[in-house]
Amino acid sequence: MPRAERLFDLLQILRRHRQPVSGASLAGELGVSLRTLYRDIAALQRLGAEVDGEPGVGYVLRPGFLLPPLMFAEEEMEAVMLGIRWVAERGDPRLAAAARDARARIGAVLPAELRDRIGTPSLLIGPESAGSADTVDLALLRDALRRERKLALVYRDQSGAETERTVWPVALGFFDRMRMLVAWCELRDGFRHFRTDRMVSATVTDQRPPRRRAALLTAWRESEGIRCMDC
C-alpha cells in the first residue's frame, strides 16, 4: 500500500476512537510493523495532525484536523492532477496561472513517491483543436458567477447582428474549441447559451438576479434534461 494511502487510513482509524488506542492495535489494523507505525505517526504530526500519545501508552487524534491535498489516494491524486493540467493548458490566462500555482503548492507537500509520479505523469492532455479566441476577459464572467451579479452583454450572433442583453449568469462551460456562458436572458425571457468568442463586451453590474444561482442551475438542468453538470 502506498504511504499516502496508509496515512489516510491511519487518520480514519484514529478518528473512530475517542480514547487512546495502542500502537500495536493500530499497526495490526494497518498490517504494518510497530516501527513503521511510529514513523507514520511522526509523519502525521509533521503535517499538522495533533496526535497525542507515545509508544506504550496509546494515541488519540484531537478533533479539527483537516486533510491536506496530499492525503488523496493514488487514483484520486491522478484525477486531481489531470484536471489541473487540463486547466493549465486550456484555461484562460488567469485560470491557467492559478492551476499552475495549485500544482506547485500540492507538489511541495506531497510525499516523495507521489511527488515523483506527478512530475512524470502517465495521463496526458492531448493537443488542443483550433478554436476561436475569447473576446472578453473570462475573469469578469467568473466574478459575476461567484458574486451572483447580473451581466450586461453586447452579443454578436452567428449572422453578425449585435444585441444588448442583461443576463443572470448560471455556469461557464469549457469545451475543447470554445467556452460558453449559460445564463437566463431577460431579453428572451429564458435560458440561453452565449459563446464567449461572440461577446463584444461584458460588464458586471451591481444588481443581483431575483433568483439564486443554485436555483437557476437546477432549473437549467431540468430544462435541458441534465442530471449532473459533470456527466
Q: Any idea what the CATH number is for the domain that residue 42 is in?
A: 1.10.10.10
13 lies in which domain range?
3-67
Task: Identify whether residues 98 and 160 lie together within a single domain.
Answer: no
**Intervals of the chain under pLDDT 50:** 69, 228-231
pLDDT in tens, 41-73: 888 888 778 888 867 778 888 876 555 545 566
Task: Quote the pLDDT of residue 108.
Answer: 67
Task: Identify whether residues 74 and 106 lie together within a single domain.
Answer: yes
Task: Quote the pLDDT of residue 231.
Answer: 30
Task: Identify whether residues 164 and 97 lie together within a single domain.
Answer: no
- Counting the structural domains of the chain, the total is 3
Q: Shortest CA distance to 142 belongs to which of 74, 96, 104? A: 96
Residue 130 maps to a domain: no
Domain boundary (55, 85, 119) is at 119
Task: Identify whether residues 196 and 213 lie together within a single domain.
Answer: yes
* Cα–Cα distance for residue pair 73/56, rounded to 1 Å: 30
Task: Identify whether residues 150 and 208 lie together within a single domain.
Answer: yes
Residue 80 maps to a domain: yes
**Concatenated DSSP letters for 170-194?**
EEEEE-SS-EEEEEEETTTTEEEEE
CATH classification of the domain holding 163: 2.30.30
Residue 230 maps to a domain: no
Q: In the chain, which ranges are continuous DSSP H helix?
A: 3-16, 23-30, 34-46, 74-90, 93-109, 112-119, 138-147, 213-224
Contacts 24+ apart (CB under 8 A), 50-54: 51/14, 52/20, 53/20
